[in-house]
Amino acid sequence: MFRLAYIVTHPIQYQVPLFRLLAASGRIQLKVFFFSDFSLHAHYEKAFGRSFKWDVNLTDGYDWEVLPRWGIGHSEALRPYWPVRGLKERLKVGHFDAVAVHGWGGHIGLLQALSAVNLLGIPILLRGACRLLQQTPPIIFLATHSQSLHTACCELLVSAGYKLEGVDGRLVEVSDELICHPPRR
């Protein structure tokens, strides 16, 4: 069975059906890691201009865990620049085949996730990357392990204005490790 870790800031109502579907597939062993559980309780939501509590259960039907954060407990309002504890260790112990990260870098925990996944050599699925590429494009070190994935990644990055070069000095088309330089702004 394919072991997938999914990392997201907090339980979000529109993601629950995806988590339940993956967990019930019989082919994926899903573990969702949250940085906060504030959305499981009544809370003020700036986007709606009021306090409320979701009227649907956000955590039934899949395995999940709230990661501890340095200096605060689990139920504090989400503070985007507060780091999490133990993420790399949990990913290592979990023996995951891949890690999906939902977000694009406005939260230090998401950046910690990207770093941990890279250090552990776990394939990553990044949701929200297009927004990152448009707003604050980073230098990307990209390793692809199939021609179709390589082609798709290169096309996306070139369309976002990136300049690609092979890490090993080989042509981009034949090198599976690339340095991708962001466009100058």
pLDDT for residue 83 is more than 90: no
Average pLDDT score over residue span 52-74: 84
Range among 9-13, 76-80, 96-100, 176-180 with highest mean pLDDT value: 96-100
> Which residue, among 168, 169, 166, has the nearest Cα to 178 in the 3D structure?
166
| CATH code at 2-129 | 3.40.50
pLDDT range class, residue 46, cuts 50, 70, 90: confident
> Six-digit token pair at 118?
């890279």
- The separation between CA 10 and the C-alpha centre of its own chain, rounded to angstroms, equals 12
Range among 53-62, 79-88, 152-161 with highest mean pLDDT value: 53-62
Domain locations along the chain: 2-129, 137-185
Mean pLDDT, all residues of the chain: 83
Q: Which residues of 95-121 are buried (b: 16+ CB within 10 A; e: fewer)?
A: ebeebbbbbbbebbbbbbbbebbeeee
Q: pTM of the entire structure?
A: 0.70
Residue 21: the pLDDT is 94
Q: Note the pLDDT tens digit of each residue in 116-135.
A: 888 888 888 777 656 666 66
Ranking 17-21, 97-101, 136-140 by mean pLDDT, the lowest is 136-140
pLDDT for residue 53 is more than 90: no
Per cent of the chain over pLDDT 70 is 86
